[in-house]
A and B are shown apart, each in its own frame.
Chain A
Amino acid sequence: MTEKELTEQYQKLTQELRRGILVLAALSQLKEEKYGYALINSLAEKGLDIEQGTLYPLLRRLETQGLLQSEWNVEGSRPRRYYVISPEGSTILQDLVGEWRNLTEVMEKLLAGKTSEGEQNESN
Chain B
Amino acid sequence: MNLIDRYIHEVGRHLPRNNRADIQAELRSSVVDSLEDRFGSEASESDVGELLTELGRPRGVAASYYPQGQYLIGPGLYPLFRMVIWIVIAAVLGAQMLAWGVGIFIAGETFPVLDLLLSLLNSIPVSLGWVVLTFMILQRFDVKPDLEDESWDPQTLPQINEDDDLKRGELIVGLVFSILILVLVMFFPQWIGFVTTPGGKFYPNPVIIQYLGWIKISLLAGIGLDIILLWQRRWSIVSRISKIAVNLLSIAILVLLVQGHNAWLAARGSSGFFDAIEAIPGVVGGEWEVVGMHSFRLAFVVALVVTVIETLAALYRLVRANIKRGYSLQVISPDKA
> A-side interface residues toward B, CB under 8 Å?
35-38, 40-41, 52-54, 56-57, 60-61, 72, 78-81
Contacts and interface: CB of A to CB of B under 8 A. Distances in A.
Interface string B246-275: 000000000000000000000000000000
Nearest to B56: A53
23 contacts: A35-B33, A36-B26, A37-B29, A37-B30, A38-B33, A40-B34, A52-B55, A53-B55, A53-B56, A53-B60, A53-B64, A56-B27, A57-B64, A60-B65, A61-B67, A72-B25, A78-B29, A78-B33, A79-B29, A80-B33, A81-B25, A81-B26, A81-B29
B37 interface: yes
Given A41-B37, A53-B60, A81-B26, 18 more contacts: A36-B30, A36-B33, A37-B37, A52-B30, A52-B55, A53-B55, A53-B61, A56-B27, A56-B30, A57-B64, A57-B67, A60-B23, A60-B65, A78-B32, A78-B33, A79-B25, A79-B29, A80-B33
Binding site of A, secondary structure by majority: helix, strand, loop or mixed?
Answer: helix
Contacts of A78: 29, 32-33
A37 B33 contact: yes
Interface in B13-68: 23, 25-27, 29-30, 32-34, 37, 55-56, 60-61, 64-65, 67
Contacts of B67: 57, 61
Interface string B66-80: 010000000000000
Contact of A52 (B25, B34, B60): B34
- Chain B: interface size category: 10 to 19
A81 to B, nearest CB: 5
Interface in B93-121: none
Contacts, number: 44
A5 B279 CA distance: 83
B330 to A, nearest CB: 46
A35 B34 CA distance: 12
Nearest to B66: A57
A99 to B, nearest CB: 22
Contact of B34 (A37, A79, A81): A37
Contacts of A38: 33
A77 to B, nearest CB: 9
Nearest to B28: A78
B36 to A, nearest CB: 9
Nearest to A78: B29
A35 B29 contact: yes
Nearest to B33: A37
Given A36-B26, A81-B26, A54 B64 contact: yes
A100 B55 CA distance: 30
Contacts of A57: 64-65, 67
A60 B22 CA distance: 11
A37 B61 CA distance: 16
A55 to B, nearest CB: 9
3 nearest A-B pairs in the assembled complex, by CB-CB distance:
A37-B33, A57-B64, A81-B26
